[in-house]
A and B are shown apart, each in its own frame.
Chain A
């Protein structure tokens, strides 16, 4: 690779043999939409190559991974069960990411939301009433916001890196939950298993599709998508945050306060993750366990990126990511593959997306020595 100077105003181009990567005059909208599709396609191709390498029939592997898990109503319900937390968290995170607030502590905020909501559900375990369920969801949202307010406060008050702080708090929240279910909140009639009592029916989210486990959480997530869309498109704060993400200086000149961006970005993300957490424990799980999330907080980061930080994109991306989870579980049962494969393909998907995104701002150009010479001539 070598750099050749093209003209005086410091424009440079990279030569990759005969292919040249050249900046586009304007980012390509088309590539912005195409790039996630290209990434999904390449991930599929990688999956097919992988299945051949481990000696599986790629067609039956594809069927077992992507079709079989959702070929009945129950399976479709499961798709929604897993998509709900991913969608909800990703919509919240995207609002921060758009303004360069890197909250990667959603896993911890989810867990702390589950602790607060779940704790309240345990407190009310003998209480019946229609107000119980909304109250514990609110507790989950507050819990997630509280956990997210730690990195927000440290960032705005002490200039502390929010990436590292929010991530460290993931581990802290998970240990805290583990302590609670091992000791003070352990089910007294649970034969010493590290799990809490089962929540009472009034604390549980209602099922929205009979014959499945699909619960109210999906409805909440879809409402969040709509709210997210309104926030991004219609509100002034959303606009400010977008500008702040694109151009820090411009935002500064316009008088947008960086500190409030950090607070909003983290609190919205925290609230979403907290609600997702409480919806897991008051939904499909029904009690507190040492682990309440199979990495939704991390996977939602990928969902946010694959969905282009846009609520509608996130809706589709969360369904895709949910299918990856279901496929991983199915692959474990039907193909004898470890479910860890899900994590590998999640990472691969994000890799391809990031690589394909190059072509939003750059284009490939075929160059020949003649064309190069001509270009040199054309310079003033």
Chain B
């Protein structure tokens, strides 16, 4: 029983960076902006948070830095695509290439530094419960935060006027504009929020999940987060399910050999990427699933004059 609880806990941990990054990208895409730079924002968030945490000794200062750094890189993307009308695909790729390079540069002095990760918060009494106790009530603070983010984003998108407006901008910017709202301003906010969340995902990776800085440590998680949003057909609850599913796939590779299955570790490491392709195929197979669920203006540059 303890092994299973252990595996489930590890799954939660492995899924959480994806939860943050994918929920952020979801909000950005709901406003019609496809930011392919998640990987770049995540890794810049990770390295900045790690560096500040290592220098200051405060993990929380690190987390805040990650959020700011993620939003800062997202601002670059926003200026390019929203103000300068650049192609969103090209700008997203540029952001990732830039972010990976920048993080390697910033992180040079921190490659051999180890941090003590965040301590768990044990909720009195509830954490004593069998199975659910360790699984839901004695987690690290950022994991609780990810639950809060999920609830808040769901509420925001579907229960508030501002959320409705954000979705309207993603579906039909012209209509939102004719109602007197600034499409560009709303999209800027959505993009910055997406960046902040990707930064937070990076913080979880570098400060909690593996409290170390390793070059290119995001290892494609930003891209998997992008795939998750498609897989979830742009719905927050499905993003959560998808993220933990991928967390599970990541964890399985460490246990398969323990079960006596003899597959080389390098081939097991391809599992999350292959799984991403498989779920993308399953969800895109029916062209209507995507057409009905994707924000109608997703990825299209928007200039009020054209």
Residues of A participating in the B interface, judged by any CB pair closer than 8 Å: 1-3, 10-14, 22-23, 102, 104, 150, 154, 158-161, 163-165, 167-169, 171-172, 175-176, 178-179, 182-183, 298-299, 301-302, 305, 338, 340-348, 350-351, 354-355, 357-358, 361-362
Contacts and interface: CB of A to CB of B under 8 A. Distances in A.
Contacts of B86: 354-355, 357-358
Contact of A347 (B101, B230, B270, B306): B101
A104 B305 contact: no
Interface in B189-221: 215, 219-220
Contacts of A341: 101, 105
B85 A338 contact: no
18 contacts: A1-B182, A2-B182, A10-B174, A150-B277, A154-B281, A160-B280, A164-B223, A164-B226, A164-B277, A168-B227, A171-B219, A172-B270, A175-B267, A179-B264, A301-B97, A350-B94, A354-B94, A358-B85
A22 B184 CA distance: 16
Contacts of B95: 347
Contacts, number: 159
B270 A171 contact: yes
Given A168-B220, A176-B267, A346 B230 contact: no
B68 to A, nearest CB: 19
A163 B104 contact: no
Interface string B100-144: 111011001000000000000000000000000000000000000
Interface stretch (B145-153, B232-240, B282-290): B282-290
B60 interface: no
- 3 nearest interchain CB pairs? A343-B101, A347-B98, A340-B104
A104 B93 contact: yes
B267 A346 contact: no
Given A23-B306, A104-B93, A351-B91, 20 more contacts: A2-B182, A3-B182, A14-B305, A22-B305, A158-B284, A159-B284, A160-B281, A161-B227, A168-B227, A168-B274, A338-B108, A340-B104, A343-B100, A345-B101, A346-B98, A347-B97, A347-B98, A347-B101, A357-B84, A358-B84
B109 to A, nearest CB: 10
B9 interface: no
B7 interface: no
A159 B290 contact: yes
Contacts of B90: 305, 350, 354
Contacts of B223: 164, 167-168
B3 interface: no
Contact of B98 (A150, A301, A348, A357): A348
A154 B282 CA distance: 10
B248 interface: no
Interface of B: 36, 40, 76, 79-80, 84-87, 89-91, 93-95, 97-102, 104-105, 108, 174, 177, 182, 184-185, 215, 219-220, 223-224, 226-227, 230, 264, 266-267, 269-270, 273-274, 276-277, 280-281, 284-285, 287, 290, 303-306
B89 A102 contact: yes
Contacts of B227: 161, 164, 168
Q: Taking chain A's interface residues, is the majority helix, strand, or loop, or is none over half, making it mixed?
A: helix
A86 to B, nearest CB: 14
A347 B94 contact: yes
Contacts of A23: 303, 305-306
Given A301-B93, A305-B90, A358-B86, A13 B266 contact: no
Contacts of B87: 354
A305 B93 CA distance: 11
Given A14-B303, A14-B304, A355-B80, A175 B85 contact: no
Contacts of A183: 264
A83 to B, nearest CB: 18
Contacts of A1: 182, 184-185
Nearest to B104: A340
Contacts of A361: 85
B277 A165 contact: yes
Contacts of A154: 277, 280-281
Nearest to A182: B266
A142 to B, nearest CB: 21
B34 to A, nearest CB: 10
A263 B155 CA distance: 43
B105 A338 contact: yes
A96 B273 CA distance: 23
Contacts of A164: 223, 226-227, 230, 276-277, 280
A8 B213 CA distance: 56
A324 to B, nearest CB: 11
B188 to A, nearest CB: 10
